[in-house]
Amino acid sequence: MATKVVMEALSPTMEEGRLVAWKKHEGDAVASGDVLAEVETDKAVMEIVARTGGTLLKQVVPEGSTVPVAALLAWIGNPGESVGDASGPVQGPAPAGTASASTQTPAKPPSTSTLAPTSSTAGAATPATPVSAPAPAPTPAATRAPGERVKASPLARRMAADRGVDLAAIAGSGPDGRIVKRDIEEAAASTPAGATRSATATATETGPAFTDVALSPMRKTIAKRLVQSIGPIPTFYLTTDVDMERAHEAREALLATGDGKFSFNDLIVRAAASALRQHPWVNAWWMDDRVRQWHDIHIGVAVAVEDGLITPVVRHADRKTLREIGTEVRELAGRAREKRLAPEEYTGATFSVSNLGMFGIDEFTAVINPPEAAILAVGRIEPKPVVVNGAVVVRRRLRLTLSCDHRVVDGATGAAFLKTLAGMLENPLALVW
């Protein structure tokens, strides 16, 4: 008897997934444990594996489809067995090269039609690049079979439409040839300025005035979590100003040894872990009918990815050295951007840190990630004039803002935590060993 293959819940928060690619095709022999398909969840790209052996008799949904958890994907059985069809609605992709005339929207996620002008349109314009300017290296041309769909991230599709870049002419550098942000930037840089302007103008004048972009699974989850957080959680904010002069000197001295490297954010993660050990009410979850104070300290570090934001978790951060934290954060961030994190690598945080200092942001408030009771927002380190011993001097300063769930963390509790954290950052020697 034929066996159903269904969309599995591959992460704790997954409600639906986008079928990125089939790894087995109809008629292929399948053994238990074989990878059948790659699925983009709300956090990462993961694998659907066969739970039984046989022959892949039928694929029920095409690549690019968004499928709810438990929906039918395929049938496995003996050759010649009859099978049924899908039970329930599946959001499938539009045929390649098609778009709605009124909305210019692909019927499905970003792996389908491209809305950018064709290369022939772009090429009709007269190049405006000065003769003296060196020509950028050409972007490698794509080699696709006739009718093969173009794989591109949502951000890449938006950038291509804005800049008049033909996705079909680009060879993607992402996983499985997927076109990503840097591919669009390189293609735009290799296109004469006049051609890009002409292509964009033509698209604006002759086509629809806007493009609707389907939400990725990650963006849907982010939206849902924000509604859950901002609405019901009674949040208050505490901000403090930290002198980072000694932290800067300590970091420079350690980097000069050549024995590993770490960032200021790694230092903040390490200091926060030590401060949480002294303030257990901040290292806690709201559980509706109780507060759960965690004995272990697992810190989520916010990482920006193409589709949104994800928080890989540094487990037992209070037990790790700065160098260990720095190495782990870089490895986790790299896999996060490639959507290759395992669920246990982005779940279970007891506290989170979000840093926008690298974008030139002085101060901001971060949204609590429930059920966590608090999150730390980190701004940039900037030289500022301050009064020290009656004299005005220039010191490196940092602003930290703690978002607190008032059901768990009182004002005095949050303030005490920030005071401890600031003291550690201003006297960091105890953290570097």
Residues 6+ apart with CB under 8 A from 78: 2, 54, 55
Output the CA–CA distances (angstroms, integers) from residue 346 to 177, 286, 333, in the order listed: 26, 19, 11
Question: Ramachandran region of residue 104, left (φ > 0), alpha (ψ -120 to 50) or beta?
Answer: left
Q: What share of the chain is helix, strand, coil (3-state, %, to 5)?
A: 30, 25, 45
Q: Sign of the C-alpha dihedral, residues 165, 169, 174, 178?
A: positive
Residue 350 CA, chain-centre distance (Å), reads 20
Which of 25, 248, 298, 406 is the catalytic position?
406
Residues 6+ apart with CB under 8 A from 227: none
C-alpha to C-alpha distance for 302 and 222, rounded to whole angstroms: 13
Please confirm, yes or no, whether 406 is among the known catalytic residues. yes
C-alpha to C-alpha distance for 54 and 28, rounded to whole angstroms: 9
C-alpha to C-alpha distance for 334 and 356, rounded to whole angstroms: 18
C-beta of residue 18 within 8 angstroms of C-beta of residue 69: no
**371 prior amide bond cis, ω within 30:** yes
Residue 317, classified by CB atoms within 10 Å of its CB into exposed (0-12), middle (13-18) or buried (19+), is buried
Backbone angles phi, psi at 239, to 5 degrees: -125, 140
Consecutive H or E run containing 303? strand 303-305
User: Which residue is associated with the tokens 């934001």?
Assistant: 309
Active-site positions read: 406
